[in-house]
Amino acid sequence: MKAIIVDFDGDYLIVANSRGDFKRIYNNYPGCQIGDEITVKENMAVLLRSMLSSKKVLTLAACLLCMLITSYGIYGYMNPVTYVTVDINPSVEFSLNRYDVVRGARGLNEEGKIIIGDGREYKNMKFDKALNLVLSKAVERDFLNKDANTVMLTVSNVKDSISSDKKKQLEEIAKTQLSNIIEKEEKVTPTEQQKPDTLVESSNTNGAKNNVKDTNKSKFKVIVEDTTYKKHQEAKKKEVSQGKLLLYEKLKQVKPDAALSHVKEASVSQILREIEKVKRELKDKSEARPNGNSSDKRKPTDEDKKQQLKNIKQLENSMNKQLKDIQKENKDELKEKIKETKEQLKNYRKEIKDNVSREIKKELKDKEENINKSGQRKNNPSDKKNDKRPRDFKNEAKTKNRNKNNKN
């Protein structure tokens, strides 16, 4: 069971667990301090008898119990509510409880892991001491120097309640810690100053150059930003600090093709310089555009005019070449289409001619067959019997009378 050390009683410890129970256990935790979180392995019945046998423990338990009932002290102590990331290029994150005590510390990139380690060293420290330790290590390992001279603190809260006073407080803490670190560095002996990679050149009054450590505090900058708990969770998923996520979004506004991996690897100073550089370039392009309302527009010189004419001529030549290429392509394409159309027309004509010829031959053949059939009927006497045409009786009577008269 997890418990927090609240007092020492000789060779015993007084601890409080998450249920609010106070126990007296044997101190089998060398180097422990008040406020440390430990795992209790003692038998619960023995612990209870030990606790009840001490009046001092009962008195202390009564006082602490009242405090726990009114302020949920243990819950407030154990649970982080505020997250502060420190970005130089090392990126680290501190989880703070409501009393600004560090409940967790972790490195968010390789440099941050070098400074933080496993985070145990920072646990249960007040935030100002933890920040001082981080900045000291950053200066010692030359992560904080003349090129990477900006420290960015970004704070978020589970309730999204970051006041301006809190931001000012963090800024003052960071500036104070930096000032203290710089003062210590300036007191380093000359032999200790001759370390490689930590020296810069400066000129004295006689113009001579001396090797001195660049610890001018005016060159270090502190930036404090606040963000939402949702943004903190988003940064956690993307495996980046909440501060660098804000910088990435600012960089994307002026440079849409910016990559998150680049922001992860770059220092805060580099990212800020890149943002300023892109902004200047955009501003210069905007000012370079022709503006008829501008009264201070520079008059073009003869060289400018010659260059403009040259550019126009090159553009005309390029356009003419493109036009010729297009015309040639269109001409070849048109020839091909005409050839294809002629071939189709030729095939179509041939097909029509063949169809007409077949129909004419068929028609002639049918007529010939009809003629042959009609000739066969005349020669066939049976056709007369089968002739069903109406008889002309008047003509037959006249013919008979004529035949009789001729006989008489």
Angle of the 242-254 helix axis to the 229-237 helix axis, nearest 10: 90
At 311, list the tokens. Answer: 């550019």
pLDDT value at residue 276: 92
Do residues 85 and 92 make contact, with C-beta atoms less than 8 angstroms apart?
A: yes
Q: Is the pLDDT of residue 156 over 50?
A: yes
More confident residue, 330 or 189: 330
Instruction: Give the H or E element holding residue 200.
Output: strand 199-203
CA dist., res. 47 & res. 108, Å (int)? 41
Instruction: Give the H or E element holding residue 155.
Output: strand 150-157
More confident residue, 297 or 237: 237
pLDDT value at residue 155: 93
Q: Is the pLDDT of residue 129 over 80?
A: yes
Residues 6+ apart with CB under 8 A from 208: none
Q: Is the pLDDT of residue 361 over 70?
A: yes
| Mean pLDDT computed over 84-108 | 93
Cα 90 to the chain's mean position, in Å?
21
Antiparallel, parallel or unpaired: β 102-107 and 37-39: unpaired
pLDDT value at residue 408: 55
pLDDT value at residue 39: 80
Start-to-end C-alpha separation, the chain: 162
Query: Residue 259 is which amino acid?
Result: A
Select from 108, 111, 112 the least CA-distant residue to 239: 108
pLDDT value at residue 86: 95
- Express each pLDDT in 157-215 by its tens digit: 998 888 788 888 888 888 888 888 887 777 764 544 444 443 333 333 333 333 334 44
Instruction: Give the H or E element holding residue 225.
Output: strand 221-226
Q: What percent of the chain has pLDDT over 90?
A: 24
What are the extents of the domains in the chain? 2-77, 80-189+203-287, 337-376
Band the pLDDT of 88: cuts 50, 70, 90: very high
More confident residue, 53 or 333: 333
Band the pLDDT of 298: cuts 50, 70, 90: low
- Express each pLDDT in 210-226 by its tens digit: 333 444 544 788 999 99
Residues 6+ apart with CB under 8 A from 286: none
